[in-house]
Structure formats: C-alpha cells, structure tokens
A and B are shown apart, each in its own frame.
Chain A
C-alpha cells in the first residue's frame, strides 16, 4: 500500500470548513483513498473513500486531484465534536491483506 503524508496538526474555527490534506504521490492505479477518524481513544470511525472522482456523503467530501497524488478531506461546517485525529489511508480495494495501515494522522482541533 502506498505511503501517505499528513500534517501533524491543524486548527479550525467552529462553523468553518475544515480542509485536511493528504499526499500519496506513490499511489497506484488500483489503490483507493480512505479516511478514518479517531475521537479521543474511541474506535476509529470510517468517513469516506474514493478512487479518482470526488465523493460526498453525509459526513464529508473527498477531493482527489486529477493525477491522484494528493487529496483533501472537507468537513463543510466543523463542530467541536469533529475534534479528532484524522487518518488518510491508501490501499488496494479487495486486497488480500487484512490490515489498514494507520500512520500518525492529523490532529484536528476545532475551536469555538
């Protein structure tokens, strides 16, 4: 699975959009981009995933660049409850290996 690079921390004002970047310059054609978050010592929570098209669900939007070497997770109206560590993970869809490789992620702090 390709390696990802994320900033260690970010701040965001409550009610504003939070834009979390992720670099995955070695991503291959059959690898998807997944985002999870972990709210203080709770189990990680799936947010969204995508291959090359932009994706949106009730939690967030995922923007993937045309060359697929980077992506941005957007939380459109951040709340205090969105304070968490956000993990960007790249892996083959339906791969034989079981694990998700969690790096250190980005610690997002939403401030009032």
Chain B
C-alpha cells in the first residue's frame, strides 16, 4: 500500500552497527506497528504504538527500540545489530476501533 512507506527497502550492515528503519504513513492512522518475518514463518510483533505517547513492547522486543516522532512516523532501531536479526521487517498502521492493519512494502535487512 503506497500510503505506508518504509525506508530503506534493502539494507546490508555488519554485526555491532546501529541502524534505523523508518516508516511513514499518509493514512492519518493513530496506531503503528513493527513486525519481523523470518523465512517460512509468520509475522511476529516487535513494538506497537497506539499514539505518539503510547509505546508498547511486542513479543520479540529485545535488541530493538522504537521512536514515534509524530503521528505519521514510527522508527525502529537496532542498537547493535546481530546476524539473527537478519529478516524482513514490516511496518503497519491501523485506526483505533478498526482492526484492519495496512502494511508497508517491507525492509529486507541482512546483518553480516
């Protein structure tokens, strides 16, 4: 969905480096999410935010941090990247009261 954009789309980094993945949305949604997907598996939630001042950990938050700079922007940081964080990362948005989530195109991250 073009209303949810993620940058970069692909990233190669080295172990120990700090990197940031960014998500922007023009849908006007108040809720935003970060998921990761490993090959052959479903998506798992890393962090979610119901509004700018509300940040919540998901099931696999260790090694990650987030920042909700504005309603439209939600960034995911890997403070010190490790190889098992190699995955496909998706950002999603939704509106309070509606459960439909709209996903971005994904960021493919490779940690060497």
Question: Which residues of A are in contact with B by a Cβ distance under 8 Å?
Answer: 32, 34, 41-46, 49, 87, 91, 93-95, 98-105
Residues of B contacting A41 in the complex (Cβ-Cβ under 8 angstroms): 88, 106, 108
**How many of chain B's residues have a CB under 8 angstroms from any CB in A?**
29
Contact A98/B106 with A43-B1, A49-B99 known, Cβ cut-off 8 Å: no
Contact A43/B92 with A98-B31, A102-B42 known, Cβ cut-off 8 Å: yes
- Does A104 contact B106, Cβ atoms closer than 8 Å? no
Interface residues of chain A: helix, strand, loop or mixed (majority): loop
B20 CB, min distance to chain A CBs, angstroms: 19
Residues of B contacting A94 in the complex (Cβ-Cβ under 8 angstroms): 97, 99
Question: Which residues of B are in contact with A by a Cβ distance under 8 Å?
Answer: 1, 4, 31, 33, 35, 40-45, 48, 50, 56, 58-59, 88, 90, 92, 97, 99-106, 108
- Starting from the known contacts A44-B43, A45-B1, A98-B33, 9 additional A-B residue pairs (CB-CB under 8 Å) come to A41-B106, A43-B4, A43-B105, A43-B106, A44-B103, A99-B33, A99-B35, A99-B58, A104-B40
Q: Nearest CB to that of B6 among chain A residues?
A: A43
Residues of B contacting A42 in the complex (Cβ-Cβ under 8 angstroms): 105-106
B67 CB, min distance to chain A CBs, angstroms: 17
Q: Nearest CB to that of A48 among chain B residues?
A: B100
Residues of A contacting B100 in the complex (Cβ-Cβ under 8 angstroms): 34, 46, 49
- Does A93 contact B99, Cβ atoms closer than 8 Å? yes
